[in-house]
């Protein structure tokens, strides 16, 4: 049989160990720990006594002791647990523990949740995590399972960190009070680490949260058997159950396809069958709404909601889940097939071991390397706009100081001092104390005070706890946010609270407060208590009494006045000169005012112009003032002559000041007499009084008919033919003008020709050179063309002559060949005859 020790015994032992460790006589602690070990062995013996069969006999008669499940985890067990969790998941712990004979399902689950889970943080604790841990321990004491997920650590890590923080605080206090005892040897008191360290023969109460024990070189038989069985079971991915599940899925899919084909055929035949697979008492979640609550009666229009629900119902297809399951099974089969194929081409065992070792080394290096975090600085307490306001206020104060110094009033000069710069002789020291308190130390101090506090039934005063901004507070699950601020040495102590921004914390060793630029000692307090903000009414009353008492003592310590006569002379009141500050006019208002003045001036100037300019009537392009003045002088009536001269001057003035576009002024500037507006208005009124009334329409029609009956063109009746002398004079004038224009044009042309010759002489020479080269090139081209034509003709003639010569040569060659054959034939016949004659002589023929 097998059994394991319950966790309740371990927690009770932890309680007794803590009680013994905090006892008043730590020298007897080792003896008490030994007693606890003895009690643990007694509990184990009691558990064994309750078993009906504590021992088991083997076949050979030997006695086999029961296997106690638990103990230290080994590296092999951790690896088997990781692989089994990857196969069976996080819910089948009984099946996982079946691979580990020495561990129970509860221990396997605890090992995974406390150590092997990849999401567990094993790095050092940060200050924020310590604050959150202490804050939650204050709100929920001893509820580590609840605190762990909020902090982001395991429950065991939270408990160990909590105990370590308390031990460190106690050690600091003991060192400060001189309670460490003599150094060295057995006389030194045991530390917290010595108390919690396991001794030989003791049982680790929580081995699931400790590192695994390294594997030995030579494994025993039980470990080898466990390793081989786990390898065989975990490598079996295509067992009987998997095949049976795949076969059942295939059968289910075939049944579904057959039912679908049957319904389609029946529907084609006109028979509709409604498929209902719901059992009796079950709910159709597609048709019904579970836990439906009818809405209140009202006039709310639900047409859009009903339309949206109908669309969702139409788009819902319950067969998609089955198809997804089918695809998942096919993907698993394909994955298994690829894995088996990859196993064939897998590298050797040594190469795999080397790769795995390299990966583990990289993982260890990544875990050891600290994470680089971004630099988080506190937000500035003074913005750019506030800085600009401070600068402006300083400039205003400097101007006020200059005005006060320039004033003749002695009282004003005595009450104003320089506040522009800091006192350079006594530089400002940077505050050494931080702007916030150590909330971790304060919380540990509070927890220790509550732990050591007596019961309320015994009476007495409660322990003083650190509250306020120095603690994490009770606002919620998260600790109170602490705003970091840069110490402000320029803050006035009388205007800041005890813990305000820029105030130095009030505790022993604080930096002396000093207000810069306090030349009149307005912020100097008494006894170091410089802050009145936040004090009670009693404190204010006591402070006033103390100040009166000090004032009385100071007056009492003065010497008695001497018996002398004093004459008081009242100074005359000095009247200060009144200085009126003129506000600077707004730029927009100034522009509007100047625009209105400019428009009014332009309107007056426009009214001073002639009626021709005001009504924009057509005007001559050129004006000859002398001719107009001569014509006006020739008028016999002096009044009309004066009017004509004034009109000529006005015409010339308009031509000079407002020339017609595209024309040049033909006269010089004209000086007119300036007449004021009143005189002009009076003159216009007189003219209107003297002007005749407008003619009637009948008179206008009669004049129009009379003028229309005239044979001459309209407007030419006043002209007469010129005399012979006048015509000759006009022609002479025209001839002289044309001749003068011609001479001027000739001179201009000569100058222009000389200028162009100067500028374009090089281009002309270059053009002449290019023209001669072009002629020479053209002549060469013509010669080349003629030579080409001649050579082409020669080539044709040579071709014809060559053919004729070739024919003649061929005939001669044929003739020679024929004669040679004939000569050869004659030679052959002669040779034969000669040979015949030679044979007869030798044979005596």
pLDDT recorded at residue 821: 93
Q: What is the pLDDT of residues 302-350, one digit of tens each?
A: 788 888 888 888 877 767 766 666 666 666 667 767 666 665 555 566 6
Bridge partners, residue 2, by sequence: 67
Name the least confident of 77-91, 356-370, 373-387: 356-370
137: nearest Cα among 482, 477, 480: 477
Cβ atoms of residues 103 and 97 within 8 Å: yes
Q: What are phi and psi for residue 195, nearest 5 degrees?
A: -70, -40
> What DSSP letter does each residue of 807-824 carry, written as one string?
HHHHHHHHHHHHHHHHHH
Mean pLDDT is highest, among 153-162, 378-387, 486-495, for: 153-162
Instruction: Encode pLDDT of 704-719 as tens digits.
Output: 887 776 655 555 555 5
**Mean pLDDT value across the chain:** 75
Q: Which residues, including other chains, have CB under 8 Å from residue 722's CB and lie 6 or more apart?
A: 730
Query: In angstroms, rounded to a whole number, what is the distance separating the alpha carbons of residues 619 and 609?
Result: 14
The pLDDT of residue 503: 46
Residue recorded with tokens 């394909």: 334
Is 540 a residue whose pLDDT tops 60? yes
Provide the pLDDT for residue 677: 79
Task: For the chain, give the percent of residues with pLDDT over 70.
Answer: 68
Copy the structure tokens of residue 337: 């097939």
4 with 70: CB under 8 angstroms? Answer: yes
When pLDDT is cut at 50, 70 and 90, the band that residue 511 belongs to is very low
More confident of the two residues 447 and 789: 789
pLDDT at 201 over 90: no
C-alpha gyration radius of the chain: 63
Better-scored residue on pLDDT, 101 or 374: 101
**Is a pLDDT exceeding 60 seen at residue 776?**
yes
Q: Which residue has the higher pLDDT, 568 or 398?
A: 398
Over the stretch 451-506, which tens digit does the pLDDT of each residue have?
A: 777 777 777 777 777 777 777 777 777 787 766 555 555 555 444 444 444 444 44
Most confident of the following: 254-263, 475-484, 658-667 = 254-263
Q: Is the pLDDT of residue 513 over 70?
A: no
- Per-residue pLDDT for 57 more than 60? no
Whole-Å CA distances, 119 to 112, 359, 362, 795: 10, 19, 18, 103
**Which band of pLDDT confidence, cut at 50, 70 and 90, is reported for residue 635?**
confident
Task: Label residue 393 exposed, middle or buried (CB < 10 Å: 0-12, 13-18, 19+).
Answer: exposed
Give the residue, 28 or 376, on which the prediction is more confident.
376
Top-confidence residue, 707 or 15: 707
Q: How far is CA 687 from CA 52, 199, 645, 680, 681, in A?
A: 148, 135, 18, 11, 10
What is residue 497's predicted lDDT score, i.e. its pLDDT?
A: 44
∠ CA(227), CA(233), CA(236), 5° rounding?
135
264 vs 534: which has the higher pLDDT: 264
Cβ pair 511, 504 in contact under 8 A = yes
Q: What is the average pLDDT across 640-659?
A: 82
Long-range contacts formed by 312-317: CB under 8 A, 24+ apart: 313/286, 316/286
pLDDT on residue 435:
53
What is the reported pLDDT for 374? 55
Of 33 and 224, more confident: 224
Question: How sure is the predictor about 53, in pLDDT bands with cuts at 50, 70 and 90?
Answer: very low
Q: Which has the higher per-residue pLDDT, 157 or 274?
A: 157
Structure tokens at 734: 């025209």
Is it the case that residue 429 has pLDDT exceeding 70? no
**Is 208 in contact with 73 (CB distance < 8 Å)?**
yes
Q: Is the pLDDT of residue 139 over 50?
A: yes
**Paired sense of beta strands 63-64 and 2-3, if any:** unpaired
Question: Residue holding tokens 């929580």?
Answer: 206
Percent of the chain with pLDDT over 90: 23
C-beta separation of 143 from 452 below 8 A: no
Question: Is the model's pLDDT at 744 over the cut of 90?
Answer: yes
Write down the pLDDT at residue 329: 64
Please report the beta strands in 546-687, taking only residues with DSSP state E, as ranges in sequence order. Answer: none
pLDDT in tens, 572-622: 665 656 656 566 778 888 888 899 998 988 888 888 788 888 888 888 877
The H-or-E segment that residue 801 falls in is helix 724-842
Give per-residue pLDDT as tens, 394-427: 888 788 778 877 777 776 776 777 665 544 455 5
pLDDT number for residue 612: 82
pLDDT attached to residue 798: 92
Query: Residue 68 pLDDT > 90, yes or no?
Result: no
- Which residue did the predictor score with more confidence, 671 or 422? 671
Residue that wins the pLDDT comparison between 82 and 687: 82
For residue 521, pLDDT over 90 is answered with no
The yes-or-no verdict on residue 675 having pLDDT over 50 is: yes
As a whole number of angstroms, the distance between CA 558 and CA 29 comes to 70
Q: What is the reported pLDDT for 49?
A: 39
Residue 255: Cβ within 10 Å count: 10
The confidence band for 720, taking pLDDT boundaries of 50, 70 and 90, is low
What's residue 680's pLDDT?
80
| Model confidence at 818: pLDDT above 90 | yes
Cα diameter, the chain: 216
Q: Which pLDDT score is estimated for 787?
A: 94
pLDDT value, residue 51: 38
| Stretch among 456-460, 504-508, 674-678, 830-834 having the lowest mean pLDDT | 504-508
Q: How confident is the model at residue 504, as a pLDDT?
A: 46
Split at pLDDT 50, 70, 90, the class of 528 is very low
> Pick the residue with more confidence: 463 or 721?
463
**Confidence class of residue 430 from pLDDT cuts 50, 70 and 90?**
low
CA distance 188 to 186: 5
Q: Which tens digits make up the pLDDT trace of 96-121? A: 999 999 999 999 999 999 999 998 99
546 vs 537, 542, 552, 554, 556, CA distance in Å?
Answer: 14, 6, 10, 12, 15
Provide the whole-model pTM: 0.37
pLDDT tens column, 159-197:
999 999 998 888 888 776 655 555 554 556 677 777 778
């Amino acid at each position: 049989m097998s059994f394991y020790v319950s966790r309740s015994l371990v927690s009770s032992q932890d309680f007794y160990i803590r009680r013994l460790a905090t006892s008043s006589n730590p020298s007897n602690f080792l003896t008490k720990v030994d007693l606890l070990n003895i009690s643990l062995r007694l509990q184990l013996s009691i558990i064994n006594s309750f078993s009906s069969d504590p021992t088991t006999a083997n076949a050979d008669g030997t006695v086999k002791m029961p296997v106690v499940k638990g103990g230290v985890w080994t590296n092999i067990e951790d690896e088997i647990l990781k692989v089994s969790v990857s196969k069976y998941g996080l819910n089948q712990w009984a099946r996982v523990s079946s691979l580990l004979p020495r561990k129970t399902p509860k221990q396997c689950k605890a090992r995974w949740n406390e150590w092997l889970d990849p999401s567990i943080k094993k790095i050092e604790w940060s200050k924020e995590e310590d604050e959150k841990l202490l804050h939650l321990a204050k709100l929920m004491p001893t509820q580590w399972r609840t605190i762990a997920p909020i902090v982001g650590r395991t429950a065991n890590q939270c408990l160990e960190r909590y105990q370590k923080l308390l031990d460190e605080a106690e050690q600091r206090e003991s060192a400060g009070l001189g309670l460490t005892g003599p150094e060295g040897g057995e006389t030194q008191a045991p530390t917290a680490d010595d108390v919690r360290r396991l001794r030989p023969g003791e049982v680790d109460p929580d081995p699931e949260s400790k590192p695994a024990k390294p594997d030995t070189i030579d494994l025993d038989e039980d470990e080898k058997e466990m390793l081989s069985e786990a390898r065989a079971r975990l490598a079996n991915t295509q067992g009987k159950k998997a095949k049976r599940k795949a076969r059942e899925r295939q059968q289910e899919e075939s049944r579904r396809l057959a039912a679908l084909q049957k319904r389609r055929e029946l529907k084609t035949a006109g028979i509709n069958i409604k498929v209902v697979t719901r059992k009796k008492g079950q709910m159709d979640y597609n048709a019904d709404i579970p836990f439906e609550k009818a809405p209140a009666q009202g006039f709310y229009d639900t047409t859009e909601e009903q339309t949206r629900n109908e669309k969702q119902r139409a788009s819902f297809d319950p067969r998609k889940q089955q198809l997804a399951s089918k695809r998942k099974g096919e993907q698993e089969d394909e994955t298994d097939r690829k894995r088996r194929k990859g196993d064939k081409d897998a590298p050797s065992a040594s190469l795999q071991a080397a790769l795995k070792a390299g990966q583990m080394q990289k993982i260890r290096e990544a875990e050891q390397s600290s994470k680089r975090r971004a630099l988080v600085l506190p937000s500035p307490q003074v913005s750019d706009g506030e800085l600009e306001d401070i600068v402006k206020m300083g400039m205003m104060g400097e101007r006020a100081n200059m005005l006060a110094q320039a004033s003749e009033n002695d009282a004003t000069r005595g009450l104003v001092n320089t506040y522009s710069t800091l006192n350079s002789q006594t530089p400002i020291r940077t505050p050494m104390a931080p702007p916030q308190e150590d909330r971790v130390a304060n919380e540990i101090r509070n927890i220790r005070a509550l732990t050591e506090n007596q019961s309320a039934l015994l009476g007495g005063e409660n322990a003083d706890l650190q509250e306020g901004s120095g603690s994490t507070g009770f606002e919620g699950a998260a600790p109170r946010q602490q705003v970091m601020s840069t110490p402000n040495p320029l803050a006035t102590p009388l205007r800041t609270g005890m813990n305000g921004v820029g105030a130095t914390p009030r505790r022993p060793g604080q930096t002396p407060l000093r207000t810069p630029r306090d030349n009149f000692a307005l912020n100097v307090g008494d006894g170091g208590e410089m802050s009145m903000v936040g004090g009670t009414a009693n404190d204010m009353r006591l402070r006033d009494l103390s100040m009166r008492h000090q004032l009385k003592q100071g007056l009492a310590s003065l010497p008695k006045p001497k018996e002398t006569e004093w004459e008081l002379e009242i100074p005359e009141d000095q009247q200060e000169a009144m200085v009126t500050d003129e506000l600077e006019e707004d730029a927009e208002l100034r522009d509007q005012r100047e625009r209105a003045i400019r428009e009014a001036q332009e309107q007056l100037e426009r009214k001073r112009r002639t009626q021709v300019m005001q009504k924009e009537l057509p005007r001559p392009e050129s004006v000859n003032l002398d001719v107009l003045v001569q014509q006006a002088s020739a008028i016999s009536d002096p009044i009309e002559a004066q009017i004509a001269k004034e009109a000529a001057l006005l015409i010339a003035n308009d031509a000079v000041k407002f020339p017609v576009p595209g024309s040049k002024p033909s006269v010089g500037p004209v000086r007119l007499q300036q007449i004021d507006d009143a005189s002009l208005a009076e003159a216009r009124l007189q003219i209107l009084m003297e002007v005749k009334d407008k003619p009637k329409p009948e008179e206008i029609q009669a004049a129009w008919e009379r003028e229309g009956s005239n044979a001459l063109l309209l407007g030419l009746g006043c002209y007469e033919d010129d005399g012979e002398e006048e015509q000759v004079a006009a022609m002479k004038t025209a001839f002289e003008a044309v001749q003068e224009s011609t001479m001027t044009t000739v001179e201009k042309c000569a100058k222009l020709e000389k200028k162009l010759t100067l500028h374009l002489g090089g281009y002309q020479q270059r053009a002449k050179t290019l023209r001669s080269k072009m002629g020479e090139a053209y002549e060469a081209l013509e010669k080349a063309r003629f030579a080409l034509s001649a050579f082409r003709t020669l080539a044709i003639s040579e071709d014809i002559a060559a053919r004729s010569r070739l024919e003649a040569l061929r005939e001669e060659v044929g003739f020679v060949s024929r004669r040679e054959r004939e000569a050869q034939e004659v030679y052959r016949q002669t040779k034969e005859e000669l040979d015949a004659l030679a044979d007869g002589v030798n044979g005596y023929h």
